[in-house]
Structure 1
Amino acid sequence: MGVFERWLSLWVAIAILAGTVLGNIIPGVFEWLSGLEFAQVNFVIAVLIWLMIYPVMVQVNFESISQIAKEPKGLILTVIINWLVKPFTMALVGWLFFNGVFADYIQPSTANEYLAGVILLGVAPCTAMVFIWSQLTRGDANYTLVQVSVNDLIMIFAFAPIAALLLGVTDIVVPWQTLLLSVVLYVVAPLLAGLMTRRRLLQRGETALEGFERGMKPWSIVGLLMTVVLLFGFQAEILLTRPLDIAMIATPLLVQTYGIFALAFVIALLIKLPYRIAAPACLIGTSNFFELAVAVAVSLFGLQSGAALATVVGVLVEVPVMLSLVWFANRTQHWFSTK
């Protein structure tokens, strides 16, 4: 790893600070940038995430994808954690904190809205940033693509019923524009671009492909850092005016994230997954599809609701927490098979 990658956590901390400061100094600029969106998908963030994902997609080798059928355990682990465990543990952890630990500090109606927000995060597994966490742990790009694709397919059918069950409502409307636009922007488009780029580079030889990947890696990290600056800049005012609410919402999210990762990590060890599959499988279950969660929270409870705020806090918590899990995974890779 180069110096830039080795000190990534420091650069992210600086990006968080820069976003918070700039968001308060020049709020108008960030307000204008946040308005460049459609169906809750911000196009500036989309471009930056695309910049992060595109180099990963160049690594995808379609000729190797058929081999994944010979190693189904990682995919099964991802599906079980994301759809049979995570939504329900998030509901339980959220209820314990908002209706128990923090009950004396939050109005019951507000507590219920915060709970709804974290539940929506728990029911929406990540589509885009997973590719970045996989790359940072040197995961199998082909396997990660299949895991994300299967998650997206299940999400089409399972998101609304599970969310309705846990929220106790019957009129959940899936924001199809948000879901489909995100899948196209974050999976389909960069995948097609990566496939075409890979074919052209391979016509010039393996060294051309390796050189391209080395050259794009810093830009992928720059995309991550700029995304962090914007995310914290968009919410800078909330961070400074409602720090107690932010802390109370972040607490169950942290417990849930680290707890789900620990569960998946232990299972991956027990079933002897190779590290290139185990690391992405564990990380996929811990990150969230925040655009979808925010869109549903706004449509159900309103833009200024506690549920919408909770989904936004999920966005702010995710990057620093996921980087800590990436660091842990990389430090413990020798515990897994390296085949």
Structure 2
Amino acid sequence: MKEAEVQEKVILKNSGIGLWERYLSLWVALSMVVGVLLGQFTPAIPEFLSQFEYYNVSIPTAILIWLMIFPMMLKIDFGSIVHATKKPKGLILTTTINWLIKPFTMFAISAFFFLVVFRPFLSPDLAREYIAGAILLGAAPCTAMVFVWSELTKGDPAYTLLQVSINDIIVLFLYAPIVALLLGIGNVSVPINTLLLSIFVFIVIPLALGIIVRKYVVKKKGTNYFEKDFVNKFDGTTRIGLLLTLVIIFSFQGGRIISNPFHILLIAIPLIIQSFVIFFLGYGGAKACKLPFSIAAPAAMVGTSNFFELAVAVSISLFGLNSGATLATVVGVLVEVPIMLLLVRIANKTKHWFKGYEY
């Protein structure tokens, strides 16, 4: 009887996890709807939260992102980071896609759709503004949300941190020249305050907290307890943080979505296509390099996801708050999470492609 009860509990537990995973897209859609409704019918809430925004970095959103990425930060130690530096193949793959391919495919795809496919619906000036916004997104690899996608694919946390850190350094030197080249304009400057604050808020603070908590728990109760019991306590925090983040993001942008749904759709189409192109380039490249799944999945995610805080900040400074370029960067924020969740699901479903690969 006891054995049967144990088996039943295991089945129920596994079923619960399966139901959550199976209907995650539904929870995401509901969170987006709740966010839009919140922004429309209780505008005082997003207005209040928007007061806590510095250099285009939302502190309430940052706190929720900490909630999402804290479980991964707990798993990082300096020894694993040093070990990751000895495996350059994945780093080279990610860097190549992010800086030699992604900005230029974004330019080509957005120009084709806005100037050719959607020509009957857009004036030439507005089409060029949308292209500019897409370029600003395409030249800005992600900083924070990559940790979420890596966690959802059971990626190597130390390697993901290293990939993101390298991108942040490269952004300082290559973002402005690439944007200036593709936009055909001069005097493009990177908003250093936005960049540095984002790095500090989204990487330094949660990493420091993770290291402090890790050392304290290991010292008090040992490594075995930390790895088998303590870390598992945070299994649900990533998804809870993700859903709450969506509510906040969509409450901020609900007005734009409702007032301009057709143009939101037009902008979303090339951005979505670009995401799939870059993901499969990275994912296919990782398989060709015979990288293990724990490195392959995050490597593909790093290039696909965007540093939208930076893109929005640059767009506002170059083109203004109400420009088509800024609207395009905002749409990038709106479509990224649902698309990245779909790519996470694709990656987890194809994990067997990388079976037997070691690094």
Return the alpha-carbon distance in structure 1 between the equivalents of residues 327 and 104 of structure 2: 21
- 1:48 Cα deviation from its structure 2 partner: 0.7
Match for residue 216 of structure 2? 200
CA offset digits 1:6-26 (Å, max 9, x no partner)? 532221111111111222111
Return the alpha-carbon distance in structure 1 between the equivalents of residues 105 and 22 of structure 2: 33
The code of the aligned residue for 1:182 comes to S
Return the alpha-carbon distance in structure 2 between the equivalents of residues 293 and 69 of structure 1: 29
Structure 1 segments (4+ residues) deviating >4 Å: none
Residues 104-183 of structure 1 aligned to structure 2 (within 5 Å): 104-183=120-199
CA offset digits 1:130-169 (Å, max 9, x no partner)? 0000000000001001000001011111111111111111
Return the alpha-carbon distance in structure 1 between the equivalents of residues 39 and 318 of structure 2: 27
SS in 2 for 1:235: helix
CA contact under 8 A between 1:198 and 1:209: conserved in structure 2?
no
The code of the aligned residue for 2:293 comes to Y
Q: Are 1:237 and 2:255 matched, yes or no?
A: yes
Q: Are 1:249 and 2:231 matched, yes or no?
A: no
- 1:213 Cα deviation from its structure 2 partner: 1.7
- 1:208 Cα deviation from its structure 2 partner: 3.1
- 1:220 Cα deviation from its structure 2 partner: 2.2
Match for residue 283 of structure 2? 265
Q: Are 1:48 and 2:55 matched, yes or no?
A: no
Deviates more, 1:167-176 or 1:27-36: 27-36
The code of the aligned residue for 1:162 comes to I
Return the alpha-carbon distance in structure 2 between the equivalents of residues 262 and 300 of structure 1: 32
Deviates more, 1:57-66 or 1:170-179: 57-66
Quick one: structure 1 residues 69 and 33, their matched pair in 2 at CA, closer, same or farther if it must change by over 3 Å? closer
The code of the aligned residue for 1:20 comes to V
Match for residue 289 of structure 1? 307
Return the alpha-carbon distance in structure 1 between the equivalents of residues 117 and 69 of structure 2: 39
TM-score with structure 1 setting the length: 0.97
Note the aligned Cα RMSD (angstroms): 1.2
Percent identical among aligned pairs is 52
Return the alpha-carbon distance in structure 2 between the equivalents of residues 266 and 5 of structure 1: 25
Match for residue 73 of structure 1? 89
Of residues 308, 320, 330, the one that matches 1:312 is 330
Match for residue 323 of structure 1? 341
Return the alpha-carbon distance in structure 1 between the equivalents of residues 257 and 78 of structure 2: 43
- 1:40 Cα deviation from its structure 2 partner: 0.4
Return the alpha-carbon distance in structure 1 between the equivalents of residues 226 and 140 of structure 2: 38
The code of the aligned residue for 1:47 comes to I
CA contact under 8 A between 2:93 and 2:282: conserved in structure 1?
yes
CA contact under 8 A between 2:150 and 2:160: conserved in structure 1?
yes
Match for residue 63 of structure 1? 79
Match for residue 333 of structure 1? 351
CA contact under 8 A between 1:86 and 1:123: conserved in structure 2?
yes
The code of the aligned residue for 2:258 comes to L
Match for residue 94 of structure 1? 110
CA contact under 8 A between 1:46 and 1:185: conserved in structure 2?
yes
Return the alpha-carbon distance in structure 2 between the equivalents of residues 243 and 39 of structure 1: 28
CA contact under 8 A between 1:272 and 1:337: conserved in structure 2?
no
Return the alpha-carbon distance in structure 2 between the equivalents of residues 81 and 306 of structure 1: 27
Return the alpha-carbon distance in structure 1 between the equivalents of residues 355 and 87 of structure 2: 13
How many residues matched?
339
Match for residue 297 of structure 2? 279
- 1:75 Cα deviation from its structure 2 partner: 0.7
Return the alpha-carbon distance in structure 1 between the equivalents of residues 91 and 261 of structure 2: 38
Deviates more, 1:283-292 or 1:267-276: 267-276
- 1:71 Cα deviation from its structure 2 partner: 2.2
Any stretches of 5+ residues in structure 2 without a counterpart?
Answer: 1-13
Deviates more, 1:6-15 or 1:269-278: 6-15
Any stretches of 5+ residues in structure 1 without a counterpart?
Answer: none
Match for residue 33 of structure 2? 17
Deviates more, 1:193-202 or 1:5-14: 5-14
Match for residue 214 of structure 1? 232
Deviates more, 1:41-50 or 1:59-68: 59-68
The code of the aligned residue for 2:197 comes to L
CA contact under 8 A between 2:139 and 2:179: conserved in structure 1?
yes
Return the alpha-carbon distance in structure 2 between the equivalents of residues 262 and 64 of structure 1: 27
- 1:4 Cα deviation from its structure 2 partner: 3.4
Deviates more, 1:2-11 or 1:185-194: 2-11
The code of the aligned residue for 1:33 comes to L
- 1:230 Cα deviation from its structure 2 partner: 0.8
CA offset digits 1:267-287 (Å, max 9, x no partner)? 111111110100000011100
Q: Are 1:224 and 2:224 matched, yes or no?
A: no
